[in-house]
Every structure is written in structure tokens, then in C-alpha cells.
Chain A
Amino acid sequence: MSQLSLKQREAGDVTVLDLSGKITIGEGSVQLREAVRGLLDNGKNKILLNLGDVSYVDSSGIGELVSSYTTVNKAGGQLKLLNLTKKIQDLLAITKLLTVFEIHEDEGTALSSFK
């Protein structure tokens, strides 16, 4: 069974990726990277990552979130985060990344924030 499950849905021109499981070195990080690159390849550059069901993230997973963010930005798009667990919020806060990402707790607000 894979470490990370990704479900894709569309809300207008925003693509929501519902993630559940682990974003850690190896399979989980690679799955996230490939999913984001696949969306960009298909011209979808407004991406909302729903992390509400992500149980575990390591430094590699945090690095992959950062890479995804910079890759999407460079492609002229926007990547935002939704429903951070306390653990992910702590990991981002400790490494001063809360200020880098745009983070939302409500999906409706998150969707309407995309330009």
C-alpha cells in the first residue's frame, strides 16, 4: 500500500489535491512531486493542497512542500495550503515557513483567494 494517497478534484479553475497518509522521504515525497508536475504539465497552475488527513511529515516532506511551492510559482501559478494539522503547523513554524506559504483553514475562503 502506498504511503500517500492523493485525490484530485476541480473547483472552478482551482485544482484541490486531498492528501492523506505520510509525506516522507521516498515514495510519499515523490508522489507529491509527480502530482504537482503533472498538474502543471496539464496547464493547471492554481493548486490547493488539503493536508487535513496527512498524519506524518518529515524534513524531506517539508522540503517537498517548499519545492512544490517554488515550482508552481516559477510556472506563474499559485500553490496554497489548506487544513494544516498541528504537527505540520509546528514543523513549518519552527523553520519559519509559515510566512512563506499562504495557509487557509476554510476551503471556501481558500478557493476564493485564488486570482
Chain B
Amino acid sequence: MTETLDLSLPSKLESAETVSSEVKIAAAKIGFEDDDANWVELAVHEAVINAITHGNKHSDVKKVEVKLIIEDDALTVYIRDKGEGFDPTQLPDPTDVDNLLKPSGRGIFYMRTFMDEVEHSLHPEGGTIVRLKKWKRQQQSA
């Protein structure tokens, strides 16, 4: 099975709810364990929120493009914004003692913790693409 779903969403916080609903449905189709489904939903939510707030800066004229690729054993999600891009290697470590009490800066850290693959790249026509992938855990044999 390979199913794809393409969404083009306004840069509003409500769009994150729309994506979360689709991720829940996809996770159920693949048969992710409950914990994994919850964390995948959170990781995708964080990427979509980043695209809306930091990428598109809530612009009325910029859309967030989301693609879900649903396979038997994995979910891949692409999130593209139309912003100016950033260097993901230059982000401060939120677990550093100097950063513990900062109110922000944990979203990408959560994505990297909960997904098997996280990749940031620049789209040739501008904007950032985040690719998130989670594999379904193999069932333990009895």
C-alpha cells in the first residue's frame, strides 16, 4: 500500500489541527502503536507550527504545503513553507543548562527525538522543506 495525501493550508494555527487529524488517520491505517502514534502527531504538529510561525510568519498569502506518504510500514511527511530558510545545525541545544529555562526552542528537538528520520532542506524556489519519517515497529514474536 502506498497512499499519498497533499494539503495546501493557510498559515493559521488551525491548519495544524487539520494536519493532526490526517496524521491520526494515517497512523491508524499503518497500525502504529499508541505511543508512537501520539509522538508522530506531536512531531508533525511541531513542524507545521514552525512552518506557520517561523517560516511563513502567519502571512495571509503564503501557504503551508503538506504531503503524507502512507506505506505499510512507514509514514513520511513533507512540510514546506515559503519563508527565508534557516540553518538547522545552528540551533541551540535546549537541554544545555544555560537554555533550560528558555520558553522556546524545543520543537525541532522533539521532532528529532520522536521520529526516525528528520531532514531539513531548501526548496529550489524558496522556503524550507522538512521531511519526517517514522517506521512501524516490528511485532515481537511470542
A-B residue pairs in contact (CB < 8 Å), sample of 7: A25-B53, A26-B13, A59-B107, A59-B110, A66-B102, A87-B38, A95-B100
Which of chain A's residues have a CB closer than 8 A to the CB of B103? 63-64, 66-67
Minimum C-beta distance from B95 to chain A (A): 5
- Bound state CA distance, A100 and B101, in angstroms? 8
Minimum C-beta distance from A70 to chain B (A): 5
Evaluate contact between A91 and B110: CB separation under 8 angstroms.
yes
Contact with B along A90-102 (1 / 0, CB 8 A): 0100111100100
Residue of A64, A66, A100 ringed by the most chain B CB atoms within 10 A: A66
Knowing A63-B106, A94-B110, A94-B113 are in contact, say whether A25-B13 is a contact too (CB < 8 A).
yes
Evaluate contact between A95 and B95: CB separation under 8 angstroms.
yes
Evaluate contact between B104 and A58: CB separation under 8 angstroms.
no
Classify chain A: how many residues form its interface, as a range.
20 to 34
User: Which residues of chain B (7-66) have a CB below 8 Å from chain A?
Assistant: 13, 16, 38, 42, 45-46, 49, 53
Residue of B13, B101, B109 ringed by the most chain A CB atoms within 10 A: B101
Which of chain B's residues have a CB closer than 8 A to the CB of A94? 109-110, 113
Evaluate contact between B46 and A59: CB separation under 8 angstroms.
yes
B94 CB-CB contact with A under 8 Å: yes
Residue of A59, A60, A67, A100 ringed by the most chain B CB atoms within 10 A: A59
Evaluate contact between A66 and B13: CB separation under 8 angstroms.
no
Contact with B along A37-60 (1 / 0, CB 8 A): 000000000000000000000111
Identify the closest chain A residue to B109 (Cβ). A95
Contact with B along A65-92 (1 / 0, CB 8 A): 0110110000000000000000100010
Which of chain B's residues have a CB closer than 8 A to the CB of A25? 13, 16, 49, 53
- Bound state CA distance, A100 and B99, in angstroms? 12
Evaluate contact between A96 and B38: CB separation under 8 angstroms.
no
- Bound state CA distance, A97 and B53, in angstroms? 24
Which of chain A's residues have a CB closer than 8 A to the CB of B46? 58-59
Evaluate contact between B106 and A62: CB separation under 8 angstroms.
yes
Evaluate contact between B95 and A96: CB separation under 8 angstroms.
yes
Knowing A26-B13, A59-B110 are in contact, say whether A95-B94 is a contact too (CB < 8 A).
yes
- Bound state CA distance, A82 and B67, in angstroms? 39
Minimum C-beta distance from A77 to chain B (A): 16
Which of chain A's residues have a CB closer than 8 A to the CB of B45? 24, 58
User: Which residues of chain B (78-114) have a CB below 8 Å from chain A?
Assistant: 94-95, 100-104, 106-107, 109-110, 113
